[in-house]
Structure 1
Amino acid sequence: MFIINELSEIVNKEVISFHMPGHKKGKIYEKLGYVNVLENLYKMDTTEIIGTDNLHSPEGIIKASQENTAKVFKSDYTYYLVNGSSCGIQSAIMSVCNPKSKIIVNRDCHQSVINGCILGDVDIKYIPCEISKDTNILKGVNVINAIDIIDKNLDAKAILLTYPTYYGMTYDLEYICNYAHSKNMVVIVDEAHGAHLGLSEKLPKTALEQGADVVIQSTHKTLPSFTQSSMIHVKEDRVDLNKISNMLRITESSSPSYLLLSSLELAVDIYENKGKKLMEELLNNIHIFKNNVNENLEIYSTNDKTKIFISAKNIGLTGYELENILRKKYNIQVELSNYYGVLLICT
């Protein structure tokens, strides 16, 4: 058994995780006393039978769970996703943009955005991306550039932006939302890396707080749900929920995983009841860590403090070399490396 054997070895070696998923090999479940639920989770792998409801036409337990989640995340309606954020992004695009219509997108968008526009036959107009010369990390869009592209494409149905970036960088999303709305455009936000932002005032505001109409979150990246489980949060003023539901029937599995649905509900329970305290502990730990880092290492500032980018270029190490040293010598696995440094995702 190749996959199982390798994964078992990683678990047994107790590799320290600074990468996705957010539950960090289940440590959060152990810490908070959810182990009893998870011990029986494999027995809950089922399908649409009496009592289990239907994700694509929820009337019972899934409907009630999604409604509770909408209250927790302050949206008008929330959809659970079991095909990752990709299906949510593609459904959002195709529910807002008709074939041959136009959408404005940041150039450093996720591949699912491109694929969604191919599927929907939607024309893309790009906003140039900002890249740090010091670290080669994506900084997000420049507001002036965004406004310029909007003004040059007033016939666009929507604007889709990534917020925050993979590296935890943000920008004035609220200003862009207000401006896009003044031009009758729907604002879709790929908040895949920001599902946790609502847990502290020390973190950037959420996309919903800043006026976005449709927000897609990868719950598994920075909150404790299983990989491939995500959500769409919707404000109904400018969006047709029936269209989103219909598109999700096209882009999402007709055999949704109840294990993934259960993990989403578990993540919401932790978020709602213990999330703010856990986030305060995390931010305090990050503060202590940064104050004790070796002076030869350089930590770059990120707007989302739960993302840490470390460079060892002052001692002649590339990010690729630093990643290998951390894993092979110290049993620490980072999220990614580039030539300049390594990215750590803390949850």
Structure 2
Amino acid sequence: MSTTPTAAPNSGAAQTPSVAYHAPDALRLFRECFTALGDNIERVVVGKREVVDLTLTCLFAEGHLLVEDVPGTGKTTLARALAASLDASWQRIQFTPDLLPSDITGVSMFRQTTNTFEFLPGPVFANVVIGDEINRASPKTQSAMLEVMEEGRVTVDGAPHSVPRPFVVVATQNPVDMSGTYPLPEAQLDRFLMRVTVGYPDTRSEVSVAAGNAGAPSIDTLPAIAAAHHIDEFVQVVRQRVAAADAVVEYAVRIAQATRSSPYTRLGAGPRGSVALVRAAKVRAASQERAHLLPEDIKALAGPVLTHRLLLSPDAELAGWTGESVLTEILANVPAPTPGGPAKARS
């Protein structure tokens, strides 16, 4: 196992002001912080602003992110840039077949001097946990992540231990070179709020990277933009200041339900998927300084939030269907709510 030590706070960083969710300018401050973080990350993740914004959406929605793509596209760079942009603790775990659950969660060690057991926390006790090539670990080790990703705590020897807040897992995996890997089970995939692919850069961005990207900072010198407590405060801004009309929430639920009844799937998105979709959509609305959801927010995030929760039928796979193409058809067939409907909203 390889872990990276907790990063030291960047002095002079994290200038984002504290904000109460009921402050009149709370949404403006959220948008400014969201934009500043995105600009900072994009200094090293060149030409991938949409992926960067999805990563930040996942962070402020208190979810976890699965980054899946071929080698060399910047998966780990994206995760490290996020960690560097926060004045918060972070750890990196290199998943390998011989990694044990206790290597992640920690162990209880007997201290002869005090005649007691002392808990030694593992690398999962950080604000940002980067899991490189998570599908290379055994299912037993993968399952050790389930409790902490869902409940924000681990249980060792019957005693619960809470991880710090905010807490986000950014895991990477390669869709190729699958020899000797263990595909993530559906139960663990469902714990990830989003799955994104970085993709190859465009020609201009790749030329800039290949030429050394003169003037661009390295990840180690990337300044921190916001502290951990700022993230917690802005999570509350999203929860308390962005309202969702019943019709828009029902639209998200109908999309999730359609994935379950689709003839192309044998397993669709469960209720956790529809909840995640609304949570992520609220962050998107707040990032545009809006206090209400639009159907466009649901549509824009349905792919990253739902496709990894779909299990296609064998016939659909043989016919060339993918989770993305199935969801595209569902979005085309599920009618979006029209303006002027009931004003009742859920906060």
TM-score (norm 1): 0.29
TM-score, normalised relative to structure 2: 0.29
